Amino acid sequence: MFFYNSGNEEPLYILNGKEVTKDKIDALDSDAIDKVEVLKGESATKEYGKKGKDGVVIITTKKKE
């Protein structure tokens, strides 16, 4: 999976409720993803503080059966 960011700063990545690196997101199998949510601006900083100033990508994976 690849997220393109045209700015100099990286967004905050949250995978199943935990902060992770972009490398972890890039290695994620796209078939395992259930939902992707993007927060930016005030909503990102309200939820995640200074860490969310460059946006937040929240990914939830499918539950394993």
Average pLDDT over residues 33-51: 96
Residue 17's CB is within 10 A of a number of other CB atoms, namely 7
Average pLDDT over residues 20-24: 96
Q: Which domain holds residue 22?
A: 12-61
In a domain, 5, yes or no: no
| Contact criterion met (CB below 8 Å) for 50 and 58 | no
In a domain, 52, yes or no: yes
Q: Which residues contact 20 (CB under 8 A, 6 or more apart)?
A: 13, 14
**What's the confidence (pLDDT) of residue 9?**
84
In the chain, the number of structural domains is 1
In a domain, 2, yes or no: no
In a domain, 4, yes or no: no
In a domain, 22, yes or no: yes
Average pLDDT over residues 51-63: 96
In a domain, 49, yes or no: yes
Of 34, 16, 13, 37, the residue nearest 25 (C-alpha): 13
pLDDT at 35 over 90: yes
pLDDT at 4 over 80: no
What the block records as the tokens of 23 is 């490398």
Q: Record the pTM.
A: 0.83
